């Protein structure tokens, strides 16, 4: 991971192929997958650090912010935007697709419950997610669509995303948060787990190491990246030969930049794979939307 800084604002960019929105560093797991699968794509990333975490925010708070951020990308010609947060996706996806219609393709983040259900041997699965995602209508709908005929537990993991955001990723930090979830999953004979938060991608190995070896895990970052690349490829005038010099992920913040960089450094020290990024120092000012 390499971090550089710039004073250019988002409005000064002539081209960002795929935009990504999250409240903190979690969506960088999707950015990393996008860079792996489509290394020539030019990526822009809005980290709404002023409102972190999204997991406990209301629909009324999230929808206008998502509209505003998508409109920023739309104004510079970005036609594919990923809402890289399950809670924000659940709250705003339907509204965004209606509001922007065909001008922007919106990719939502949702727990990979479908593949988890398909790979469960004993027909018992679990979704681990933020409290906001677990209580949202979107996850309930996924359960009805893809796991209505099997046992599917929706388990909230308070504090786990925040643990990643603060770079607190020692074994002791993870154990305190994961231990009760491990007990619940073992007690209900779950054999397949869907991780329902982009932050959890950075903890995949640490989480899975705490469960019996027979339990399978599914993460949403790669499927979301694949869908974004597919939609970009379907654009009528997309450039399939994007310059190899696509550069680092351009990161725009609404809040504190130093804490964001500190978190990235801690994630790097913990062995997390992150894309090269360039942080733009001018904060995004969000109007009273």
What is the per-residue DSSP string for 200-238? GGGGHHHHHTTS-TT-EEEESHHHHHHHHHHHHHTSTT-
CA distance 159 to 177: 7
Based on C-alpha coordinates, what's the Rg of the chain? 18
- Residues near 170 by beta carbon (within 8 Å), at least 6 away in sequence: none
- Catalytic positions are 85, 197
CA distance 198 to 195: 8
Cβ count near 138 (within 10 Å): 18
Going by C-alpha positions, the residue among 30, 33, 34 that lies closest to residue 47 is 30
Going by C-alpha positions, the residue among 54, 52, 89, 32 that lies closest to residue 204 is 32
Q: Could you tell me what percentage of the chain is helix, strand and coil, using 3-state DSSP and rounding each to the nearest 5?
A: 45, 20, 35
- Residues near 115 by beta carbon (within 8 Å), at least 6 away in sequence: 194, 218, 223
């Amino acid at each position: 991971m390499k971090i550089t800084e710039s004073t250019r604002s988002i409005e000064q960019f002539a081209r960002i192929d795929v935009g990504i929105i999250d409240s903190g560093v979690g969506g960088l797991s999707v950015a990393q997958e996008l860079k792996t699968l489509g290394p020539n794509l030019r990526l822009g990333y809005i980290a709404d650090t002023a409102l972190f975490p999204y997991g406990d925010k209301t629909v009324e708070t999230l929808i206008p912010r998502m509209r505003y951020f998508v409109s920023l990308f739309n104004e510079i010609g970005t036609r594919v935007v990923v809402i890289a947060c399950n809670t924000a996706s659940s709250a705003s996806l339907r509204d965004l697709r209606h509001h922007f219609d065909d001008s922007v393709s919106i990719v939502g983040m949702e727990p990979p419950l479908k593949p988890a259900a398909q790979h469960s041997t004993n027909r018992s699965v679990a979704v681990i997610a933020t409290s906001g995602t677990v209580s949202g209508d979107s996850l309930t709908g996924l359960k009805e669509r893809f796991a209505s005929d099997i046992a599917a537990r929706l388990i909230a993991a308070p504090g786990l995303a925040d643990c990643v955001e603060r770079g607190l990723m020692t074994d002791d930090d993870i154990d305190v948060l994961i231990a009760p979830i491990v007990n619940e999953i073992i007690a209900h004979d779950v054999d397949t787990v869907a991780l329902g938060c982009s932050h959890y991608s950075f903890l995949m190995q640490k989480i899975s190491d705490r469960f019996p070896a027979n339990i399978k895990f599914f993460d949403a970052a790669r499927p979301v990246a694949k869908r974004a690349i597919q939609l970009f490829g379907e654009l009528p005038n997309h450039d399939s030969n994007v310059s190899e010099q696509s550069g680092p992920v351009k990161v725009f913040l609404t809040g504190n930049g130093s804490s964001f960089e500190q978190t990235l450094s801690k994630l790097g020290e913990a062995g997390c794979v992150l894309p090269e990024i360039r942080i733009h120092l001018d904060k995004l000012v969000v109007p009273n939307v």
